[in-house]
């Protein structure tokens, strides 16, 4: 099953849960290499971590979790590795559909799904459609996602609407542009976590991250635990989010 059963009542929290957390699930390959295993074993372990962390996020009352599962650049990897990642995704979506009536989790996708296999695409559409009615915890899975690609598509769509006479260039503002992105209607992430020691954004949520707080850790994604997530949440609450203003 994609999401484990609800745990016992959540512990009293020292810090409130951010509304929207986004995670770059990185470090699967290095995790496997350290153990002398093929990279695909790392992806498999990473997907278990995803289940655990998503369950935990739901149980502590988070509203949105956005995870980077496959980027527009990840096609550069070997055919075998790409196939393994796609097959793990397929397995989870099948499980998610099975468990949906019980889990009540909204599963949504960000990315260009036209490039994935018709079978996987159909599963994403089905998962999205079935879970649309749930308005509690939402997981956004970024699949064949690239921040630049997302912005280009939005610009293209706006240009198309202008050319069709539906709107005028001067009418576009930041809110209107946001509504053309995959994340339309979803608040920007408060906190973006990147495990694995890399300190870069790798084309993730470029527009939406304008005022996100970042948290980097050396822990590899398959080793990432709810305790690590709590460390990130704690760090987030020590930040002073000024949004360009002055500290009061
Ligand atoms: C993240 O782990 C998973 C994907 C990008 C699909 P990596 O596979 O990038 O792991 P490293 O960075 O090579 O360790
Ligand atoms: C970012 O990780 C993409 C995902 C985690 C899905 P990468 O491993 O692809 O990023 P780089 O190559 O280190 O920048
Ligand atoms: Mg990586």
Query: Considering only 5-9, 150-154, 189-193, which range has the smallest mean pLDDT?
Result: 5-9
Domain map of the chain by residue range?
20-148+188-237
- The CA 236 to ligand 1 mean position distance, Å, reads 25
pTM reported for the whole predicted model: 0.95
Q: Which helix (H) or strand (E) holds 40?
A: helix 39-59
| C-alpha–C-alpha distance, residues 139 and 3, integer Å | 11
pLDDT at 39: 98
Q: Which residues pair with 193 in a beta bridge?
A: 23, 215
Atom in ligand 2 nearest the alpha carbon of residue 69: 6
pLDDT tens digits along 91-109: 999 999 999 988 889 999 9
Instruction: Please indicate whether residue 26 is annotated as part of the active site.
Output: yes
For residues 189-199, average pLDDT: 98
Is residue 198 lining ligand 2, measured as CB closer than 6 Å?
yes
Does 59 participate in catalysis according to the annotation?
A: no
20-148+188-237, which class in CATH? alpha beta
Ligand 2, atom 12, residue with closest C-alpha = 202
- CA gap 210, 65 in Å, rounded: 17
pLDDT tens digits, 117-175: 999 999 999 999 999 999 999 999 999 999 999 999 999 999 999 999 999 999 999 99
Given the residues 7, 28, 59, 74, the one annotated as active site:
74
Distance CA 65, CA 57 (A): 7
Give the integer Cα–Cα distance in Å for 114 and 105.
24
């Amino acid at each position: 099953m994609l999401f484990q059963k609800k745990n016992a009542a959540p512990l009293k929290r020292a810090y409130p849960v951010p509304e929207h957390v986004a995670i770059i699930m990185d470090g699967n390959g290095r995790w496997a290499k350290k153990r002398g295993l093929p990279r695909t074993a790392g992806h498999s372990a990473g997907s278990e971590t995803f289940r655990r962390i998503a369950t935990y996020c739901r149980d502590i009352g988070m509203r949105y979790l956005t995870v980077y599962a496959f980027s527009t650049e990840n096609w550069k990897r070997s055919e075998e590795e790409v196939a393994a990642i796609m097959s793990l995704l397929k397995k989870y979506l099948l499980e998610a559909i099975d468990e949906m009536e019980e889990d009540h989790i909204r599963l949504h996708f960000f990315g260009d799904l036209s490039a994935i296999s018709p079978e996987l695409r159909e599963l994403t559409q089905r998962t999205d459609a079935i879970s649309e009615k749930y308005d509690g915890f939402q997981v956004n899975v970024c699949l064949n996602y690239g921040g630049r690609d997302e912005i280009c598509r939005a610009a293209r769509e706006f240009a198309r609407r202008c050319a069709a006479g539906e709107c005028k260039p001067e009418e576009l503002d930041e809110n209107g542009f946001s509504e053309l992105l995959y994340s339309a209607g979803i608040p920007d992430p408060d906190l973006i976590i990147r495990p694995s020691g890399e300190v870069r954004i790798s084309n993730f949520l470029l527009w939406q991250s304008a005022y996100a707080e970042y948290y980097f850790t050396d822990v590899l994604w398959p080793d990432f635990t709810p305790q690590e997530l709590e460390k990130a949440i704690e760090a987030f609450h020590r930040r002073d989010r000024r949004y360009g203003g002055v500290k009061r």
